[in-house]
Amino acid sequence: MKCYITTPIYYVNDIPHIGHSYTTIASDILARWKRLNNFNVFFLTGTDEHGIKIAIAAKEKGKTPQELCDEMSAKFKEAWKLLNISYTDFIRTTEQRHFIAVEKIVQDLLDKGFIFKKKYEGLYCVGCERFFTQKDLDENGCCSFHKTKPALQSEENYFFKLSSFQDALLERLTNPNHKEYIEIQPEERKNEIIGKLKLGLEDISFSRSAIEWGIPLPFDKKQTVYVWVDALINYITAIGYPKNEVTFQKYWPADVHLMAKDILWFHSVIWPAILMGTGLPLPKKVYSHGFFTLDGNKMSKSLGNVISPQELVDKYGVDAARYLVVTLIPFGPDGDISWQELTLKYNTDLANNLGNLISRTIKMAEKHFNLQVPETKPDLELAKKVTTTIKESFALNMDNIQLHKAAEILQNAITLVNRQIEIDTPWTLAKTDMNKLASCIYSYLQAISIIIMHLLSFMPSISEKIWQIIGASGNINETAKKYFIDAIIPENGFSVVNSQLQTPGILFPRIV
Ligand SMILES: [Zn+2]
């Protein structure tokens, strides 16, 4: 089984911030989770590098557009390295392979009669790099994202017959039994898209004249492909379209396109229409998340409150940063975050709950059993209880990218083990019943190993480290893969009797 997951390609007029990180970390967690479930995963991210904004910004900085793109694209790669993002490929729209794919798609659409030339006069927002119709604008006649009035511009462009796809799109977006059904998530935004689609579609400008920083149309080199169209095609370029038919057939269609809500329309309407026009299969799922505010305020460069990946990592460490960013608010709706809440969640979930469980378990083993997995008759009751607590609903929430819920299930499992320790009172057993104490510590270690395998997609590095600390055998990734398929706990447990444990130090130092 394959699973093709994409983030949007990020526009290089901005440096990586928490918004990009949020989409990318969520995608990475999904990719890692699918790999653990034995899917052949292709996980794509990259940078969107064409358009007038880039040309202008480069000029201002005294650079060529390509130099600026190289520099900015590298910053995204650095950020994803910092956040331990396991992408399969990083695509840049200035690469040769992308030119070939875009030219092929545009030529195909022309040949099939979906592209025509017309003089166009419209309201153009430079910020969005797109034309708007009056009904797209807010009550003041402004672009709702930039709050500026688009200027009236006129040029001769090539157009895409988007209007001719209305019925076909409605059918594919609303009928789950259609063989090319596209699932839009979340439901509320799906309804918005459908509502807007029912109002009718207008043909859209597909090219720009006088914008040189782009991909020239194969049939009219004086025009370049509209940057939005160019960007969407990256999803097929990266898996080999059109030259590498084998890889393309292997991974296309995409299983899920993830993105923020502002580009949902492009992914659920324009992109499928382009694909239909060329006769290519449609993506299976388009999933958008909301915007978030910081302490109730919009994050923006001018307010100076934009959070960078580096700041998150400096404060919490890589693994905790990944965990916190995607679990503080639900994936889908808009949400508000704050440093206080991030820190509170860090202290509650990681320092107090998980960190404490591991540290107290290892301390007992150190004090009474020479830092080894105590010799005992394997008791797997607690581990089985933990499995039951986590099972199914965890997998369901991971598959649906409800990562905050998946994390909550894990926290409940950790609490369950911590509570069991309170019930067992191993500190009294040390004086009365060493056999029982050995059996208890053994059972905590098995329970922890189950929990850690589930945390692996969220916190890959520290999970590996904890796996060593608790004396669990083998490579955690391989063991987890086997566990997620068979759901069987080995007879002797994951931390085998007499295995060496390690002192954990402070895994998650409390932050004040
Ligand atoms: Zn705008």
- State the SS3 of 473-512: CCCHHHHHHHHHHHCCCCCCCCECCCCECCCCCCCCCCCC
Band (pLDDT 50/70/90 cuts) for residue 392 is: confident
Residue 488's pLDDT is 87
CA of 460 to the centre of ligand 1 (A): 38
Pick the catalytic residue: 2, 59, 112, 146? 146
Q: What is the pLDDT of residues 427-478, one digit of tens each?
A: 999 999 999 999 999 999 999 999 999 999 999 999 999 999 999 999 999 9
Report if residue 147 sits inside a domain: no
Told to judge if 69 belongs to the known catalytic residues of this protein, a careful annotator would answer: no
Q: Domain holding 462: CATH number?
A: 1.10.730.10
| Single-letter residue type at 430 | A
Residue with tokens 């998650």: 508
Residue 122's pLDDT is 85
Give me the percent of the chain exceeding a pLDDT of 70: 100
Residue 301's pLDDT is 81
Q: What is the pLDDT of residues 24-77, one digit of tens each?
A: 999 999 999 999 999 999 999 999 999 999 999 999 999 999 999 999 999 999
Report if residue 466 sits inside a domain: yes
Band (pLDDT 50/70/90 cuts) for residue 223 is: very high
Q: What is the pLDDT of residues 292-348, one digit of tens each?
A: 899 999 988 888 889 999 999 999 999 999 999 999 999 999 999 999 999 999 999
For the segment 403-415, the average pLDDT, to the nearest whole number, is: 98
Residue 155's pLDDT is 83
26 Ramachandran zone, left/alpha/beta (phi>0; psi -120 to 50): alpha
Residue 410's pLDDT is 98
Contact 288, 261 (CB under 8 A): yes
Q: Identify the domain containing residue 480 by its residue range.
A: 338-486
Report if residue 12 sits inside a domain: no
**Distance of alpha carbon 87 from alpha carbon 474, whole angstroms:** 25
Report if residue 6 sits inside a domain: no
Q: How far apart are the first and last CA of the chain?
A: 45
Report if residue 443 sits inside a domain: yes
Report if residue 233 sits inside a domain: no
Q: H-helix or E-strand containing 444? A: helix 434-455
**Distance of alpha carbon 507 from alpha carbon 468, whole angstroms:** 13
Give me the percent of the chain exceeding a pLDDT of 90: 89
Told to judge if 301 belongs to the known catalytic residues of this protein, a careful annotator would answer: yes
24-28 long-range contacts, CB within 8 A, separation 24+: 24/80, 24/83, 24/85, 25/83, 25/85, 25/322, 25/325, 25/326, 26/258, 26/289, 26/326, 26/331, 26/401, 26/403, 27/258, 28/83, 28/84, 28/85, 28/86, 28/87, 28/322
Band (pLDDT 50/70/90 cuts) for residue 127 is: confident
For residue 185, what are the contacts with CB-CB under 8 A and spacing of at least 6?
285, 286, 287, 288, 332, 400, 401
Residue 303's pLDDT is 83
239 Ramachandran zone, left/alpha/beta (phi>0; psi -120 to 50): alpha
Q: What is the pLDDT of residues 230-249, one digit of tens each?
A: 999 999 999 999 999 999 99
Q: What is the pLDDT of residues 155-196, one digit of tens each?
A: 898 999 999 999 999 999 999 999 999 999 999 999 999 999
Residue 210 pLDDT > 80:
no
CA of 473 to the centre of ligand 1 (A): 55
Pick the catalytic residue: 3, 69, 143, 440? 143
Told to judge if 128 belongs to the known catalytic residues of this protein, a careful annotator would answer: yes
- The stretches of 372-402 forming alpha helices (DSSP H) are 381-390, 393-399
pTM of the model: 0.94
| Total Cβ atoms within 10 A of residue 406 | 27
Which tokens hold the place of 362?
Answer: 């290892």
Told to judge if 257 belongs to the known catalytic residues of this protein, a careful annotator would answer: no
For residue 327, what are the contacts with CB-CB under 8 A and spacing of at least 6?
345, 349, 403, 404, 407, 408, 458
CA of 132 to the centre of ligand 1 (A): 9
CA of 218 to the centre of ligand 1 (A): 28
Mean pLDDT of the chain: 96
Contact 405, 458 (CB under 8 A): no
Phi, psi torsion values for 316, nearest 5 degrees: -115, -10
Strand-pair category, 297-298 with 292-294: antiparallel
Compute the CA torsion angle 463, 464, 470, 472 (nearest 10 deg): 120
Told to judge if 50 belongs to the known catalytic residues of this protein, a careful annotator would answer: no
Told to judge if 404 belongs to the known catalytic residues of this protein, a careful annotator would answer: no
Strand-pair category, 130-132 with 89-92: unpaired
Residue 154's pLDDT is 85
Number of domains in the chain: 1
CA of 11 to the centre of ligand 1 (A): 14
Report if residue 118 sits inside a domain: no
Told to judge if 3 belongs to the known catalytic residues of this protein, a careful annotator would answer: no
Strand-pair category, 256-260 with 130-132: unpaired
Report if residue 228 sits inside a domain: no
CA of 136 to the centre of ligand 1 (A): 10
